């Protein structure tokens, strides 16, 4: 399966998770491209989409929300995974915020996950 990971990351934690996901998915036999939303234009030739973002003040950064609204194509029920990284799990609403926007574009949510981040995870 061709998988695209797009993420936003201020201090590197969300990018770290993107790299780990990419390594594991490649080991499973998938073709995986991964890049920061600020790096490249969106490649539309993929079967599954993974979106990752950090939680700042309870939600993902505005620039990630704008990126999803402005760049994600309609999917016709292809699968998507959304994850966020944060210090805690209580004030972390970004996964729902992004997945609702993907749902509007006919993405079928496979997984919605928040990682509670501790420095020793790296
Ligand atoms: C300005 C700022 C605001 C944050 N707000 C929250 C928050 O509301 N809830 C939370 O659980 N973690 C919060 N955190 C912690 C980050 O979500 C966590 O460190 C995350 O993994 C950062 O991801 P990144 O390294 O990809 O930028 C905040 C961190 C920063 C720098």
The total of other beta-carbon atoms located within 10 Å of residue 10's CB is 11
Percent of the chain's residues with pLDDT above 90:
49
**Mean pLDDT of all residues in 46-53:** 93
Task: Evaluate if residue 41 carries a pLDDT over 80.
Answer: no
Ligand 1 pocket check for 73: Cβ under 6 Å: no
Q: What are phi and psi of 95, to 5 degrees?
A: -60, -40
**Mean pLDDT of all residues in 7-23:** 95
Interval between CA 97 and ligand 1 midpoint (Å): 16
Q: What is the pTM of this model?
A: 0.89
Paired sense of beta strands 79-86 and 48-54, if any: parallel
d(CA 93, CA 4): 23
Report all structural domains of the chain as residue ranges with CATH numbers, in order of start.
Answer: 2-121 (3.40.50.360)
43 within 8 A of 49, measured Cβ to Cβ: no
Ligand 1 pocket check for 14: Cβ under 6 Å: yes
């Amino acid at each position: 399966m061709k998988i695209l990971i797009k993420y936003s990351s201020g201090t590197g934690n969300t990018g770290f998770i993107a790299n780990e996901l990419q390594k594991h998915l490649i080991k499973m036999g998938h073709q995986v491209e991964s890049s920061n939303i600020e790096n490249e234009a969106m490649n539309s030739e993929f079967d599954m989409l993974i979106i990752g973002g950090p939680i700042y003040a309870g939600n993902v950064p505005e620039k990630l929300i704008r990126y999803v609204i402005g760049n994600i194509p309609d999917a016709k029920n292809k699968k998507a995974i959304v994850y966020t990284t944060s210090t805690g799990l209580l004030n972390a609403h970004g996964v729902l915020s992004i997945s609702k926007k993907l749902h509007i574009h006919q993405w079928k949510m496979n997984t919605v996950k928040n990682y509670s981040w501790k420095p020793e995870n790296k």
